[in-house]
Copies of this chain bind each other. A is one copy, B any other.
Amino acid sequence: METRPYVPWDLMNSFMIDVFKAYGVPEEDAAICADVLLESDRRGIESHGCNRFKPIYLDRIDNGTLLPVTKIDILKETPTTLVMDANNGMGMVASYRMMEKLIEKAKTYGMAGGAICNSTHYGIAGYWTTMAEKAGMIGISGTNARPSVAPTWGVEPMMGTNPLTFTMPTDEDFPFNFDCATSIVQNGKIEFYERSGKETPPGLVVTKDGGTMTDSGRILKTMRAGNCALLSIGGLGEATGGYKGYGFTTIVEILSAALTGGPFMKELSGKNPDGTNRMYRLGHFFFVINPEFFMGLDTFKHTTGEILRGLRASEKAPGADRIYTAGEKEWDAWQERKDKGVPVGETIQKELIALRDRFGLDYRFPFE
Contacts and interface: CB of A to CB of B under 8 A. Distances in A.
Interface of A: 75-76, 78-81, 83, 109-113, 115, 138, 150-156, 158-159, 166, 168, 176, 178, 180, 182, 184-185, 201, 203-204, 206, 208-210, 233-235, 239-241, 243-245, 247-248, 250-251, 253-255, 257-262, 264-266, 287, 289, 291, 293-296, 299-304, 306-308, 310-311, 314-320, 322-326
A119 to B, nearest CB: 15
A265 to B, nearest CB: 5
A257 B168 CA distance: 13
Given A109-B80, A110-B113, A295 B260 contact: yes
A152 B328 CA distance: 13
A78 B320 contact: no
Tell which of A151, A185, A255 has the most Cβ of chain B within 10 Å: A151
- Cβ-closest 8 pairs across A and B: A210-B317, A258-B303, A111-B111, A156-B315, A153-B320, A261-B299, A184-B241, A178-B247
25 contacts: A76-B295, A78-B110, A80-B80, A81-B111, A81-B293, A81-B294, A109-B111, A111-B113, A111-B287, A113-B293, A138-B255, A152-B324, A153-B317, A154-B317, A154-B323, A158-B310, A168-B254, A178-B250, A178-B251, A182-B244, A254-B304, A259-B300, A262-B303, A287-B287, A287-B289
Contact of A240 (B111, B113, B204): B204
Q: How many copies does the complex hold?
A: 2
A82 B85 CA distance: 32
A240 B203 contact: yes
B112 A153 contact: no
A110 B81 contact: yes
Contacts of A168: 251, 254, 258
Given A168-B254, A210-B319, A266-B310, 19 more contacts: A79-B109, A111-B112, A113-B289, A113-B293, A151-B314, A151-B325, A153-B323, A184-B234, A208-B315, A241-B245, A243-B324, A247-B326, A250-B308, A250-B311, A258-B303, A259-B300, A261-B303, A264-B303, A265-B307
A154 B315 contact: yes
A299 to B, nearest CB: 4
B166 A251 contact: yes
Contact of A150 (B180, B182, B314, B319): B314
